[in-house]
Structure 1
């Protein structure tokens, strides 16, 4: 099937028809106003590839069936993209050549595909901008909620979900909008009682990228375990043989609280050491901080899997890390092992909340991945700067970024660009 013509009362309805009939990957060839409404001509990537392989001399006239909504038309005109009157001022690319080349990867076809992609991107940008204008006109609360959440560092996905939930609630003029958002955000943050984790005992590996504060967090937790269970019930292990001074740092903390530190070489060594520590109730394992995309991370995951199949993994996350990197870290660590029982991280620790201008990104990742939070670390003091997860504080802090300047806020005219996918999804589902 060749290009198809769609006519509807407005651009949004016409685009919905394109998605329904041609698919989400459809390439828009032209958009123009007609007496019957807005006309969009689109083609699927498969149809374009088929057309590009036609032999030289094949007809270049393609009949485009017309599909309408609430408009009756019998038009079945020959496809010819109109470049004189395109919607929103977007120029339509030239008509598809009947015989660009026998090879579907010919330069002409690649250029044409690039043009189609550019036009599609421009159209999506235009539609998202119109959707954002509609939201501001129809629901000031929803628009303001999106603005607050986006500037707080939340992902477009969670911004959209919270804005939809807010819009579905009855209006409450006596409660500030940001307080209503906090009441929606707070119950989404899952927490885990540390006592329920450590009281039964076991082996706990603290994992995460370099520099997030794993060693300091372990020292804080170790000090509390000594107070609760006694020195003879705790042991510290480390696989960190990469960083200069890493073991010395942990040994200093261990000496202060009177607990031994054992360095591990490989999985066999881990198994041997654990067998000699069966009388210890809690064993905390400090792993080497390596990039989530480093092969050493996979090697370390293998060491833990083979040496201690029953250990529990706790992810340490720095609140100073950006959203995309947080997402990357969680996904890579979840995929680092083939053992289903070890794939699930039992919980997380957020560090450096005192340093972060905004903690929205890390809170966003915890919510979307349903990762329970155990502790918040907000300083270097051992063991003082460690507290159990407090959802009221977290949600309030996430919605109130700290900034000494307003220069980092997203300008209102750029919000639709940041929320493009979410806005286009609303158009599709409306």
Structure 2
């Protein structure tokens, strides 16, 4: 049977994802030349994919027509033949091997070629997906491309939103790279010229913010932040006053007055968080690290190795004893064993701070703080340095899709309103980030 990709993509019970299978690519080299296409694509279907994309180009992507022939009777969702379609013969071939739709790349085809190939595809019962890279290419859409045609206005809006957003970032922040380096601006950052620490926080809807902690005896009236542009608040702590007060690992918090009154929050860009005996959490001031790296000669093998062999591990559970392990114990005791077993990469779970240990680190509260359960940030640096000395690459298993809903430990209702989130993750009972916000 011919499956309608448009219907499957719009089906609310599906994910709306076209999941792709390919063995290699020109940029990444070998991706997966071991698993069977039937196993991978069936897994995609079982986990809710709306359609399957199979690359049949052999020279650049290691595919073949048999890949589609082998899965046609195994899966019950649409199959896209993804290839460089430039000839009518390929359209007939696509139909004969059991695919449901073809991909036409607008950049590679003239308007006439798009019209002729899409018309032929429709005549023999295939749907057409048109890949476009610029707003000008939208003009190549025609009545035969019924998958995209109803959404022309939305596509135009997406292109315009993208262009406007990039222009806004470049004009106000210099570049996307600078925009993504907020950690070098927010939180605690040392000013060599003025000899002191700047502390900054983004809380656009706050009425008042004070920095409190052991350095000022938790006096909420001692260090009020000043409101600047773009919802940024800041305060400067000169060495002449605070050098012997704002000491390493001293505890800090924010007291914020918002629409919901006064609340206590851990700074969003804090680099260390600790749990107290009463189970509450505090941020800790961490100065710039003086850790001495000795891995200058190390070269990451993940991009050069044909088959990275990855050892996935949880620092706290890596010991044989009934207790939480540490970064340094893992470095000294576990890494040599991983090396001897033949692994060339280690993937570390639960690196970012999380209030509930049983979540395995997948309900993150503090995204710039390595979990203090396992040691200090320098202890983590020691682990990474030791791993590199052994020729082992390190993959940090970070979670950017959702965050804890906790008010005190996390980012939820940070300034009295939801400035970071716009949804709820039912499986994890956690908050979903608002990725459309700038």
**TM > 0.5:** no
- Name the structure, 1 or 2, with higher relative contact order (CA <8 Å, separation 6+): 1
The structure whose residues are more often helix, as a share, is: 1
The structure whose residues are more often strand, as a share, is: 2
Q: What range describes the TM-score normalised by the shorter chain of this pair?
A: under 0.3
